[in-house]
Amino acid sequence: MHLGIDIGGTKTDAVLVSPDGVVLHRHVVPSGKGNGEVVTQAVLAAATVCDAAGISPGDAASVGVGIPGSVLDGVVSHAQNLGITRLDLASSLAEAWGVRPVVDNDVNAGAVGAWVAAGGEARSIAFLNLGTGLAAGLILDGKVWRGARGAAGEIGHISVDPHGPLGPDSLPGGLETYASGSGVALQSGGAPAVQVLAAADTDAGSARIREGLFFGVATAVRLLVLTLDVEEVLLGGGLTRMGEPLLDGTRRVIRGWERNSRFLASVDLTARMSVLDPETPVAAIGAAMRGAGRG
């Protein structure tokens, strides 16, 4: 069994998975804030899920951790939502467990988990995370593509309309402003995404924001497929709890483009896009698989 832990902004999700990524045990606790609490809650989640299986974390075949922020050699920087400026997470957890975990960025871990959850046979996928922020994790040739400075997949900062809504940093029409929890909240004056989307059938302002969400997701899928020609784009993150309406709205935008463009019709974006089950803990699974040397 491989142990994987996804430390998110609100919850820390620990799983024990089989060598092919099937979840055997899972335990979720609230995430801590600040270096000490973040480590404490990760240790708690791991201990509880291992107890359920009658093992200790040191007995797992491998251990992996996913966490927001920049990660280099097990050291996490700039994980603002967790109150972390700099934390040597791998060493802190190694002290608790007696084994040193593989630590990776949560979106990269999510990409590995999404890839494994989709069968692990595609040569290339993009995992489009529609969470508090928007970013993509890339699996190219069966491995995570990180780029020169570990910043690959930061497509949320790409502007796709110079006259679009302003994001943080005054960026107009950024993908993250259209299609993330923080972007929807920014456009709505602070209302959470779930509330804005629920109101969209009756409120014109909310409907406009929802239409922008579909436009943003469709545009991100087009950008990832045309740039990288990945086999599949797998959508995950909190906004995918919208379910079918998200896919329907995104497909409607893409079909509008395809009616005008023979080229885009030939690319067949809708066939290459799917939504992951929001109940599948892809980042925790991916963290476990990273620990086991996959991706």
For position 267 contacting a copy of itself by CB under 8 A, the verdict is yes
Minimal distance in Å, beta carbon 137 to a copy of itself? 12
Q: Which two tokens stand for residue 147?
A: 């780029």
Rounded least distance, CB 169 to a copy of itself, Å? 4
Q: Is the separation of the CB atoms in 237 and 195 below 8 Å?
A: no
Rule CB under 8 A: say whether 145 interacts with a copy of itself.
Answer: yes
Question: How many whole angstroms separate alpha carbon 64 and alpha carbon 121?
Answer: 21
* Nearest approach, Cβ of residue 161 and a copy of itself (Å): 6
Q: Total number of residues binding a copy of itself (CB under 8 A)?
A: 42
Q: Which of 231, 255, 270, 278 binds a copy of itself (CB under 8 A)?
A: 231
Is residue 95 involved in binding a copy of itself (CB under 8 A)? no
Exactly one of 33, 146, 208, 255 binds a copy of itself (CB under 8 A); that residue is 146
Q: Which of 228, 255, 278, 280 contacts a copy of itself by CB under 8 A?
A: 228
Residue 119 in contact with a copy of itself, rule: CB under 8 A: no
Give the nearer residue to a copy of itself in terms of CB position, either 35 or 250: 250
Q: Which of 48, 159, 182, 280 binds a copy of itself (CB under 8 A)?
A: 159
260 binds a copy of itself (CB under 8 A): yes
Rounded least distance, CB 147 to a copy of itself, Å: 2
Determine, following the binding rule CB under 8 A, whether residue 274 of this chain makes contact with a copy of itself. Answer: no
Contacting residues toward a copy of itself, per CB under 8 A = 123-124, 136, 140, 145-155, 157-163, 169-171, 219, 222-224, 226-231, 257, 260-264, 267
